[in-house]
Structure 1
Amino acid sequence: MSAERESGPALEHSGPSIATAAERDSLMAGRPEPQLEPHLTPGGGTEFTVHQTVEVERETRIASIQERLDAARERLSNDHARAMVRGQARADFECER
């Protein structure tokens, strides 16, 4: 078996087929450093204020939507009642002819 087959095609090395501490150290030195992820939350009072503002806006929007839905439901109910009255009036009028 060749050295390439034993170590795989991705880890080609030009040295003895015996693993050494020097080879290990050179491979470890070639590792990429982990990238730090930025945390964009400010923390403290500022973060609390922002979250509180967002919650207030959300609750205001929910209340506004609920009010509009209630108004639409009321209009629908009123329109339905009026249509029934008009239909009854029309039926009564046509029966009297």
Structure 2
Amino acid sequence: MSDTQEAVRLANDTQFGLAAYLFSRDLARIWSVAEALEVGMVGVNTGLISSEVAPFGGVKQSGLGREGSRQGLDEYLEIKYVCLAGVGGVVGA
């Protein structure tokens, strides 16, 4: 088992699943870990993941469904929000 797999296993080993945070510049690892985390929101390279336009909510004992944004209407889906910052260069440069 890799360190990344072990970190995800440990992070998921809880009855709660509101949010998780990770720091990396490796886009492949970011998307792989974000997908594997059993949470409703993922912050990448930032701890500020909530705003009035972002869906808010968790999974497991942290709730089902999302509040805020248009995703608040999608009550019956498992939606995962990934907030990504500080990766790569300027787009179009």
TM-score (structure 1 length as normaliser):
0.16
Greater share of helix: 1
TM-score (structure 2 length as normaliser):
0.16
Higher relative contact order (CA 8 A, sep 6+): 2
